[in-house]
A = this chain, B = another copy of it.
Amino acid sequence: MQRIKTIKDMRALSRGLMSEKKSIGFVPTMGALHEGHLSLVRRSKEENDITVVSIFVNPIQFGLKEDFNKYPRDIDGDLKKLSSLNVDFVFIPEIRKMYPDGFSININIGGIGDIFCGAVRLGHFNGVATVVAKLFNIVMPHRVYFGQKDFQQTVIIKKLVRELNFDIDIIVCPTVREADGLAMSSRNSYLSPTERKSASILYRALKHGEGLILQGKQDASYVKTEIEKILNSEPLISIEYIGIVKPQRLESVEIIDSPVVICLAVRIGTTRLIDNLPVSP
């Protein structure tokens, strides 16, 4: 496994791989890797000649009052995990090279970035779109892998690729969960033991919603209310949103008569957690 530190070196590498007609699979991450990330890496290894993983905690996708500074970082641990999976290249650019003085471009992805998570995390998805476009142009991958856990992000990145005509396939992989159903997330490390225990209710609430839909319940506001009741039974949790939306464009549905995604965001103490579940009635 080779570690690439500069944009210039990464680009030279990708150019070389392209001229050798190697297919490049790419897994962009913010590090603090868990089984969710590793499942993306394994999938990329299966489907491509070469796999590149980036580790970059992207400052412009964090709000001023968010957790950029305390976001978990564990480069040594990350490198060990990636090395054990025989990743070909790890790209770890510096912030000041990604965002040099005077940097001012921002990709505005429109209203779809201002709802659900974007309503609370102002500018977050524009920051994601901007760094992802940069990484796409540097790494020049054929396929890029994201987790279903960040559902809104996957919808937005597919839109970015479609609307800016990137010649890239976006592949969304299933959410990887802990034994009790909690979706893996680098932010789970923020939870105290008590909070961690209560966090399992997110998945139970989603599964309850799925059960209602599979039983034939079509009224989205009824299903949301039932999910809300379950989440509210856990005193440590405060709900940010519960949505039942169409998978492609995040439009909220009233009647559930085609595939939907149930998505939710909560706070447990100071930690914000998200999760979702695709359901086909």
Which of A's residues lie within 8 Å of B, judged by CB?
Answer: 7, 11, 15, 18-19, 21, 102-112, 129-130, 133-134, 137-138, 140, 159-160, 163-167, 249
Oligomer: number of copies: 2
Q: Is the CB of B163 within 8 A of A105?
A: yes
Residue of B nearest to A135 (CB): B165
Residue from A15, A107, A109, A110 having most chain B Cβ neighbours under 10 A: A107
| A108–B106 touching, CB < 8 Å | yes
A160-B105 Cα distance, complex, nearest whole Å: 7
User: Can you list 23 A-B contacts (CB < 8 A)?
Assistant: A15-B167, A18-B18, A19-B21, A102-B249, A103-B163, A104-B110, A104-B111, A104-B112, A104-B163, A105-B107, A105-B108, A105-B109, A105-B159, A105-B160, A105-B164, A106-B108, A107-B108, A130-B164, A134-B163, A134-B164, A137-B164, A137-B165, A137-B166
- Minimum distance in angstroms from A58 CB to a CB of chain B: 14
Residues of the B chain whose Cβ atoms lie less than 8 Å from the Cβ of A137 = 164-167
| Neighbouring B residues of A133 by C-beta, 8 Å | 133, 164
Distance to closest chain B CB from A82 (angstroms): 23
Nearest to A139 among chain B residues (CB) is B165
User: Is there an interface contact between B111 and A140, defined as CB atoms closer than 8 Å?
Assistant: no
Complex Cα distance, B112 from A106, in Å, reads 13
Q: Which are the 10 A-B pairs with shortest beta-carbon distances?
A: A104-B110, A137-B165, A105-B163, A106-B108, A138-B165, A134-B165, A108-B108, A137-B166, A105-B109, A107-B107
CA distance A112 to B102 in the complex (A): 10
Bound-complex Cα distance A110 to B140 (A): 25
Q: Is the CB of B21 within 8 A of A167?
A: no
Q: Which residue of B lies closest to A105 (CB)?
A: B163
Give chain B residues whose Cβ lies under 8 Å from the Cβ of A11. 165, 167
